[in-house]
Structure 1
Amino acid sequence: MQDKKVNSTWILIFTSLGFFMSMMDSMIVTTATTAIRNDFQISLSSLQWSLNAYNITIAAVLLVGVSLGEKIGRKKIYLIGIFIFTVASVLCALSNNITSLIIFRIIQGIGASVMTPMSMAILTHALPESERGKALGIWSGVGGLALIIGPALGGVIVAILTWQWIFWINVPIGLLTIYFAQRVLPESKGKNDKLSLIDFILITISSAGIIWSLSEINSNAIKYIPIGVGLVSILLGILFINRQKHSITPMIPLDLFQSKIFTSGNIATFLLYASMFGIVFFLPQFFIAVQQVNPLTAGLQLLPWTGTLVIVAPFAGSAVDKYGEKIIATLGLLFQGVGYLLIALILNITDSYLAMVLPLIIAGMGLSMAGPALQKCVLSSVKPIYIGKASGIYNVFRLLGGAVGTTFSVIIFYVYGDISSITTFADGFYAVILCAGVISLLGIVFSMNLKK
């Protein structure tokens, strides 16, 4: 019994490390962008793709990687993903211009695209259902740790060393993870379906095109280009879905969506992260533009919000095991929504940071509770043979929720405010956080469909 417990602990550690690296590399680059721009002497429009290339690639190829994991082996694809990610990190550190950096960030994204869903699938498959909620809560907390320390660590590295070291630090972590994960993690597979190259191309272009158009719609002066790309991508997505309906071995088994629990869990996930990512994008800017603090202070002021991911998520996971997904997910969405609405209420009176601390904690608790609950809900609603694909679908909804939430928040911001003054910025942010609260509360409509 003790050996089984120890083995479960090591499985949790080495699946969480892959998730940590994937999340960390998205966050750590944010505080190195100025150093990269100065080093390469590039514009902001070029610089943004050092971030976007990574995130868009993850979403675009995620389901392809999941399908390979189901066929070849989840552990094998997980290790290959970490290897690609580690090699690409070296190439990113050696880049001498923005073009090469973007190309190698795409390669990094290819590796990272399987690290999150495969780690989740391996962990879920390896542990009994009675332990999954707690384990997924800890797994989420590790991802939250990357969210917390990523920007601060990036700032420290750039200040002491050079921006290249934000990529060099991935190398020893990646190599150690590969070595120990190979020894510790169990192998598992899903359905041995035939892989379709046409489906791969359709889902990759469709996902990348939709997310690119969402990213560009607010920054591109020629609006018809991103709109046109978005429409074509949607049509390709419809064609992909139609092919899935008639495929004997679909990449996305549409039958899974006949489950009300599976469908509701994914939609609630979409709304949870759409609400959260809009605030992630604007809150640090609000601290800097309105409260006139420096970037390091702005990062520290996020801690009452992001810090709850590490503190609350493991306990929330245990609560899911004890009380069920429905109540914990519903409370989580409620807390996040109420937290944001309280901040909006406070902003009508004062922009004092101290007045925002408690609402930030409440909102962070909500995210920390709903995340593990919705993960377990989605993965537990399918047969074990579909866990890998369910994990991939869950993460696509999470990423699309983040992309849509960020884009929607920018649109709302410019409808009600702008960046020309402190007052107009505060007006725009007020509208953004109000809408984010409503979006989170809307998720309750779907969380009420989950099992008790």
Structure 2
Amino acid sequence: MSTTARRAPVGLVILAASVPAFMASLDNLVVTNALPVLATDLEATLEQLQWFVNGYSLAFASMILMAVALGDRYGRRRVFSGGIALFTFASILCALAPTAEALIAARVLQGIGGAALMPLSLAILASNVSERMRPMAIGIWGGVAGLGVAVGPLVGGAVVEGMSWHAMFWLNVPVGILALMLIRAYLTESRGARAPLDIVGLGLGMAGVFGVVFGIIRGNEAGWTSGQVLAGLVGGSVLLAGFVAWERRRDDALLPMRLFRDRSFSVANVVGVMFSIGILGAVFILIQFLQVVQGKSPLEAGVMTMPWTMAPLVVAPLTGLIAPRVGTRALVTAGVSSQAVGLAWIGLVLDPSVAYGALVPGFVLCGVGMGLVFAPLATAVLAHMSEADQAKASGTNATLREIGVALGIAILTAVFTGAGGELTPTGYTDAAQTAVLVGAAILAVTVMVATLLPRRSDQPTVAARDDAAGAPAEAPALIPA
């Protein structure tokens, strides 16, 4: 419940909630365009290159629900601010990292700080704007967060080429300071139920996800039947099963399993995981193709992907406005379909000498598809959630999508290396094509899953509508309109 009746101008509220979300999503893939440079400068292996991204993603995913629980207990704005401070400090450590191992460790710490940013920014935004303005606000937030993921390679490439790879982490410092100032000035505090912290659940979930991703990453190099790989895959799966069993027994669970009884919530989360696996795993492969095979500079590679990266900035806010009229199912299905076709196009034309113009239609389709998915998917997740469950619901969605990022990079890189791929101009393209087409196939399956979303999943339940109608102006129910 909000602790104050004063409401700041909606534009400044959206800005205060969106800047940290952009910063966190940006750092998912900001290093992607710098990977060839990092491989040379830090003498990093392909496996270490994956951990530069996955170290962040896994820490981010593992800590999101705990950050939500801490926000419910101690205040969402307070934990949100603490996460930004830790993220900013870890960015300094990344910038100063002298070795690949040091950079991976700093990226893990950065991910822990970033875990407080995405779900809490959405929950805080929903509690700081009126019900009437909420669809537009969520649409803009989704566009900004999606843009952060999309322009990460562009920003990383521009900074690496213009300055050095260290500078792309230094950029987070002034942005983090600005975000803290905006939060203090324009966002009000809110809290949820003060439940005991689920430390056992956190440990089981973290260890299980890490084990599975570690096993996939190590599979090709160590052998899929090797002890370490089987320990990761089997052990991780057992720990995840234990996590589910533990959470089902607890009233104050880190991840309340009762949330999955809601069809809109469950299907939206499956779509979020599969979407992240397909599209973001492919981004990891394609950015390096432009540099390793076609010899483009980091900045050139970033500019070439702008038809992809700029589309969500335009499309996502519009989808936030039209979602209440057409429903989330139509938008999400159309968006994932667009991405599947776009990625298949890219995979089929991929060749060492492919002209840039041949790639553009695929880039545009992928970008438009991303813009169509982000805001409606967030709306579908929150559609039938009560105020008490709002933060955990959005936190669950963010957790699963981040796990999807790590799995996507691990799976498609495993496909790449399994197909004989190497980080050389002559050993990259055939394996990259296979990996990208696998990503397209995953998205094609995701389209079928998306059709299971309720026809009007953006509409709250009758009880929720009654609650919203009776809620005071200073503490609106957190149900997207």
Name the SS for the 1:437 alignment partner.
helix
Q: Structure 1's 50 and 301: CA in aligned 2 closer, same or farther, altered over 3 A?
A: same
Offset at residue 267 of structure 1 (A)? 0.8
Aligned pair count? 450
- Unaligned 5+ segments in structure 2 are 457-481
Offset at residue 35 of structure 1 (A)? 5.4
1:263 corresponds, among 258, 266, 272, to 266
Deviation per CA, 1:9-43: give whole Å up to 9, x if none.
Answer: 11211111111111223333334455556555665
Name the SS for the 1:114 alignment partner.
coil
The residue aligned with 2:196 is 194
The residue aligned with 1:57 is 59
Cα separation, 1, equivalents of 2:248 and 2:208? 17
The residue aligned with 1:440 is 443
Offset at residue 305 of structure 1 (A)? 1.3
What pairs with 1:80-99 in structure 2 (closer than 5 Å)?
80-99=82-101
Aligned: 1:429 with 2:432: yes
The residue aligned with 1:170 is 172
Q: Is the 8 A contact 2:336 2:446 kept in 1?
A: yes
Name the SS for the 1:443 alignment partner.
helix
Deviation per CA, 1:161-210: give whole Å up to 9, x if none.
Answer: 44333222222221221122022112222222221322222222223333
The more displaced of 287-296 and 198-207 is 287-296
Structure holding more helix per residue:
1
Cα separation, 1, equivalents of 2:98 and 2:432? 37
Name the SS for the 2:410 alignment partner.
helix
Cα separation, 2, equivalents of 1:96 and 1:418? 28
The residue type paired with residue 84 of structure 1 is L
What pairs with 1:264-283 in structure 2 (closer than 5 Å)?
264-283=267-286
**Superposition RMSD on alpha carbons, in Å?**
2.9
The residue type paired with residue 386 of structure 1 is D
Q: Is the 8 A contact 1:148 1:306 kept in 2?
A: yes
Q: Structure 1's 324 and 280: CA in aligned 2 closer, same or farther, altered over 3 A?
A: same
What pairs with 1:324-343 in structure 2 (closer than 5 Å)?
324-343=327-346
Aligned: 1:180 with 2:182: yes
Deviation per CA, 1:222-244: give whole Å up to 9, x if none.
Answer: 84313312321221221121111
Offset at residue 345 of structure 1 (A)? 4.6
The residue type paired with residue 16 of structure 1 is S
The residue aligned with 2:469 is none
The more displaced of 282-291 and 244-253 is 282-291
**TM-score (norm: length of structure 1):** 0.89
Cα separation, 1, equivalents of 2:49 and 2:335? 35
Q: Is the 8 A contact 2:34 2:156 kept in 1?
A: yes
Q: Is the 8 A contact 1:18 1:82 kept in 2?
A: yes
Aligned: 1:398 with 2:401: yes
The residue type paired with residue 437 of structure 1 is A
Offset at residue 394 of structure 1 (A)? 0.3
**TM-score (norm: length of structure 2):** 0.84
1:379 corresponds, among 367, 382, 385, to 382
2:73 corresponds, among 58, 71, 74, to 71
Name the SS for the 2:116 alignment partner.
helix
Offset at residue 93 of structure 1 (A)? 3.2
Q: Is the 8 A contact 2:161 2:299 kept in 1?
A: no
Offset at residue 326 of structure 1 (A)? 1.2
Percent identity, please: 29
Cα separation, 2, equivalents of 1:420 and 1:151? 18
Name the SS for the 2:117 alignment partner.
helix
Aligned: 1:319 with 2:322: yes
- Unaligned 5+ segments in structure 1 are none
Offset at residue 216 of structure 1 (A)? 3.0
